[in-house]
Amino acid sequence: MAEQAQYEELVRQFSAFGAVKREMGRVLPTDCPAGSAAVLTLLNRHGDMRMSKLAELLAVDMSVTSRHVAHIVERGWIERSADPADKRSRILRLTPEGLAQVDRLSRCTTQMLAERLSDWTDDEVAQLTRLMARLRSSFDESPRTPAITQ
């Protein structure tokens, strides 16, 4: 269990992380903002899935997911087909163009990180990745947001 000063410093780093996110966003293709990129990457990694599953992986509301998906469908990167087992659902699948876009995205971001983190060791990159994954699961597993103390 850490102390208050440690938590405050961590919060500060959380806040400052926004600058990293924005810098990452600047290397993305103009018609593929971060939200779209996240959808494409998850579909590539986990394979075809329903909207609800995608929303869960993105950890955002399904209404948000629906907007991202609509944007991507317009560009021909994914297809929405009806689920024969449940006509309310729609199955999402990457098109060949979508797969090409995933490759493009991977090259953009990988090259960018390789430049920025050129003096990081393999182990440091792995550590950061591991700790951020753990952070996420610590937030996932906890009970929902407690009341605000005004």
Q: 121: left (phi > 0), else alpha (psi -120 to 50), else beta?
A: beta
Nearer to a second copy by C-beta: 74 or 118?
Answer: 118
Q: 72: left (phi > 0), else alpha (psi -120 to 50), else beta?
A: alpha
Q: Which of 43, 68, 98, 102 touches DNA by CB under 7 A?
A: 68
Q: Which of 12, 80, 107, 136 touches DNA by CB under 7 A?
A: 80
Q: How far is the CB of 121 from DNA (least distance, A)?
A: 30
Q: Which partner, DNA, a second copy, none, binds residue 16 by CB below 5 to 8 Å per kind? A: a second copy
Q: Should residue 26 be labelled a site residue for a second copy when binding is judged by CB under 8 A?
A: yes
Q: What is the DSSP letter of 93?
A: E
Q: How far is the CB of 141 from a second copy (least distance, A)?
A: 9
Q: Which of 29, 33, 47, 76 touches DNA by CB under 7 A?
A: 33
Q: Should residue 60 be labelled a site residue for a second copy when binding is judged by CB under 8 A?
A: yes
Count of C-beta atoms within a 10 Å radius of residue 103: 11
Strand order in the sheet with 49-50: 49-50, 86-94, 78-83
